[in-house]
Structure 1
Amino acid sequence: MNATLGPGVLVHQLLGAFFLPPLNVILLVLLGLWLRRRHPRAGSVVVALALGLSYALATPQMAMWLNRSLERFPLVALSQVRETGAIVVLGGGKKPAPEYGRNEPSADTLMRLRYAAYLARHSGRPVLVSGGAPLGGEAEAPVMARTLVSDYGVQPRWVEQGSDTTFDNARLSAQLLKADGVRSITLVSQGWHLARAVPLFEEQGLKVLPAPTGLVRYDGGGVMWYLPSGRAMQETHAALREWVGRLYYAVRERGTALLRSVSHLKS
């Protein structure tokens, strides 16, 4: 199925392609090889830097370091969750699952759903699932709701399926919640994601209790944390993607403020 990407989603995808591994490392290697034609020493340094970066980004130590720079919120207590009006769980992707004959939550989304279900069962708070279809096809929220019901026995009260970005998650979820008089929420997502998501929900006038899950940790230690692995590559990629996303939003906000200032001066 061919998806029609919106401008915002397309920008996110392009930024991710050029500024995140593996393409950023490949481009750095190509730059080094090009430099070696006229400046052999400088070109060799750039190639070596790219190879070293590729190795470092595949280690558990780098994965933990990058993610801990984003995991700013402490774990929540059930007593805190009971004081909020609802549990909001954000979508983190879906994937085709031929063995089930339908879409299923991605690994990140499933981790969030499991924790949200745990909090809901032990607190009695209603659940809102939020996630659209930025890449086309079925929206994430119905997939999330189906999984909550079938796997965890939790029926969401609200299903928000029009969002393409975290900003949309906040805006559209707030509309549903406020319509039912909910002004405070427990917000469930990965620790690295909440650093950006919490302020967006607070800007919508909601009191937010961050509930991080999926914190990046590894067993063992010592030399084991410096051996490259596929899991570490994935987790460093997620952290770097979040930093790129935060940079994008910061630049967008700065540009919007600048345009407003110019418009004000002209008027």
Structure 2
Amino acid sequence: MNATLGPGVLVHQLLGAFLLPPLNVILLLLLGLWLRRRHRFAGGLLLTLSLVLLYALATPRMAMWLSGSLERFPVVSPAEVRATGAIVVLGGGKKPAPEYGRNEPSADTLMRLRYAAHLARRSGRPLLVSGGAPLGGEPEGVVMARTLAEDYGVPPRWVEQGSDTTLDNARLSAQLLRADGVRSITLVSQGWHLSRAVPMFEQQGLTVLPAPTGFVRYDGSGPIWYLPSGRAMQETHAALREWVGRLYYAGRERLSGLSARLRS
């Protein structure tokens, strides 16, 4: 399917690429190389800093530390889930799967769906899946609903498929839930994501029980955690992206408040 990026999504993608590793570290390294021709010490300092950052951001120790700063919520019990009206699962991406001849959930989304199905079976609560198509093509919500029904035998009651952002997830999901009289939810996503997502759903008037999954953990200990890996770089990228997202929404709220005060 052809992807059609909206201008807002494109801006988010570009800003994320420049602000996050590995591109921000590469740009710092290039700046150091350029500066070294004129100011040898300053250029060398930037080169050293960029290499140290590149190593640190690729270690399991850094991945766990950054993710741990976001993983605020504890594991939930089936009894807690039963006290809510529905289980809401947030989309975390999809990908083409040639072996299936269709789209399938990304690794993050699949982790969320598996845990949501686990909670649904033990609590009896209905499921809502939420995810649009910010990069074009088939909406994530449709892919998620198909996976829950075919692979886990728990089809969702609601499918939200118009969202491009977490804020959209909250707004559009709340509309579907309110129409059926649901006022309290169990919200399933990665632990590092829920610290930003929960307040957005609460702002829609919902009572939210965070149900984190996908905690960033590694086997072993000690020196093993300081060996760089691609997986660790991916997880540090996700955590830093979440911090950037939190700063972006915090800044937007401040600007909205300032604008409202100036108009009054």
TM-score range, shorter chain: over 0.9
- Percent identity at matched positions? 81
Secondary structure at the residue paired with 1:237?
helix
Look up the match of 2:68: 68
Letter in 2 for 1:235: E
Look up the match of 2:23: 23
Of the structure 1 ranges 206-215 and 247-256, higher mean CA displacement relative to structure 2 is found in 247-256
Q: In the alignment, does 2:168 pair up with 1:168?
A: yes
Q: Is the 8 A contact 1:15 1:244 kept in 2?
A: no
Look up the match of 1:219: 219
Normalising by structure 1, what TM-score? 0.97
Look up the match of 1:191: 191
User: Cα distance, 1:2 vs. partner?
Assistant: 4.2
Look up the match of 2:8: 8
Q: In the alignment, does 2:146 pair up with 1:150?
A: no
Deviations 1:63-89 (A, max 9, x none): 000000000001101110000000000
> Number of matched residues?
264
Look up the match of 1:261: 261
Letter in 1 for 2:134: P
Letter in 2 for 1:176: L
User: Cα distance, 1:14 vs. partner?
Assistant: 1.6
Deviations 1:210-233 (A, max 9, x none): 000000001100100000011101
Question: How far apart, in 1, do the equivalents of 2:98 and 2:255 lie?
Answer: 44
Q: In the alignment, does 2:229 pair up with 1:229?
A: yes
Letter in 2 for 1:11: V
Misfit runs of 4+, over 4 Å? none
- Trace 1:107-122 onto structure 2 (pairs within 5 A): 107-122=107-122
Deviations 1:119-160 (A, max 9, x none): 000100000000000000000001000000111000100000
Question: How far apart, in 2, do the equivalents of 1:204 and 1:11 lie?
Answer: 26
Structure 1 residue runs of 5 or longer lacking an equivalent are: none
Q: Is the 8 A contact 1:12 1:245 kept in 2?
A: no
Secondary structure at the residue paired with 1:76?
coil
Look up the match of 1:36: 36
Question: How far apart, in 2, do the equivalents of 1:9 and 1:193 lie?
Answer: 19
Letter in 2 for 1:202: E
Q: CA RMSD in A?
A: 0.9
Question: How far apart, in 1, do the equivalents of 2:124 and 2:60 lie?
Answer: 37
Letter in 2 for 1:82: R
Q: Is the 8 A contact 2:4 2:137 kept in 1?
A: no
Question: How far apart, in 1, do the equivalents of 2:10 and 2:246 lie?
Answer: 16
Q: Is the 8 A contact 2:188 2:211 kept in 1?
A: yes
Q: Is the 8 A contact 1:94 1:140 kept in 2?
A: yes
Q: Is the 8 A contact 1:94 1:106 kept in 2?
A: yes
Look up the match of 1:54: 54
Of the structure 1 ranges 183-192 and 242-251, higher mean CA displacement relative to structure 2 is found in 242-251
Q: Is the 8 A contact 1:130 1:169 kept in 2?
A: yes
User: Cα distance, 1:200 vs. partner?
Assistant: 0.1
Question: How far apart, in 1, do the equivalents of 2:204 and 2:256 lie?
Answer: 18
Q: Is the 8 A contact 1:87 1:125 kept in 2?
A: yes
Letter in 1 for 2:30: L
User: Cα distance, 1:7 vs. partner?
Assistant: 3.2
